[in-house]
Amino acid sequence: MKAKRFLSVFVALVMVMMVVSPVLADKPIGFDPVTGAETAWSNSGCAKIQDGTITDSAGVPLTVGFDEFGYNYQAHLFVGTYDTSDRVADGKYWGSTVDYADDALQMKWSDEWLSNVDCDNNKKLDRGLANGVSTGSSRGWLTNHVNGDYIDANEVSQHYTYFVKIGYVGTGGSLWGTFDIFEEIYNDPASGYHGVAILTDPGLGQFIEH
């Protein structure tokens, strides 16, 4: 039964792998990192993916559209497998041979989780970006959706789906001190799991800590 181990897998995945996301409008609405008030700001001085200066953790320049591993940073989207989520297509997940390496994984995230611009000139996409200032830590929200198969104790192939919604809540969050799981849905009929496991908040978290 896979249910419990997936959360730990997602924790490792989302905190390590989110490197980058659609081009912001010229005058988007942002949030003041101190007061929380909405405000307009310009990202005209920030580097964009199209500039070719922003790289992933391995120093490879990011490009628009889907890359070979399934990441579309321009669209805040990943569509691939656990295998390719670590940006190495070797049939393993972060170097480990695991039975879920070929399970389908889709991730979506907000601009505050990982933006599509580099405003602090470190050649990486900014996290927790507010009005052109990066906090260096992700905010906002992230969702993950998994479709996969496994062999049960009777050597029969079984299918499962898993969905989790994670959002920033500020100090006191149950995940990493500042995040919570808002929704977790695990469907695995062979193991007796159907539907919502956790539903703590219908929203997607807050951007900043008030």
Residue 76 in any domain: the answer is yes
Residue 86 in any domain: the answer is yes
Residue 100 belongs to domain spanning: 3-199
Residue 206 in any domain: the answer is no
The total domain count for the chain is 1
Tell me the torsion sign for CA atoms 177, 88, 134, 143.
Answer: negative
What is the end-to-end Cα distance of the chain in Å, rounded?
40
Residue 209 in any domain: the answer is no
Q: Judge contact between 191 and 171, C-beta under 8 A.
A: no
Task: Give the model confidence (pLDDT) of 126-184 as tens digits.
Answer: 999 877 788 888 999 999 999 999 999 999 999 999 999 999 999 989 899 999 999 89
Task: Give the model confidence (pLDDT) of 52-91 as tens digits.
Answer: 999 998 899 999 999 999 999 999 999 999 999 999 999 9
Task: Give the model confidence (pLDDT) of 12-59 as tens digits.
Answer: 344 333 333 332 233 344 444 444 444 444 566 799 999 999 999 889
Residue 92 in any domain: the answer is yes
Residue 80 in any domain: the answer is yes
As a whole-number percent, the residues of the chain with pLDDT over 90 amount to 56
Q: Single out the residue of 6, 17, 194, 185 nearest to residue 100, CA to CA.
A: 6
Q: In this structure, what DSSP letter does residue 96 have?
A: B
Residue 142 in any domain: the answer is yes
Residue 205 in any domain: the answer is no
- Element holding 72 (H helix, E strand): strand 71-72
Q: CA–CA separation, 122 vs 210, rounded Å?
A: 27
Please tell me the pTM assigned to this model.
0.75
For 58-65, the CB contacts below 8 A with 24+ separation are 58/87, 62/19, 62/20, 62/125
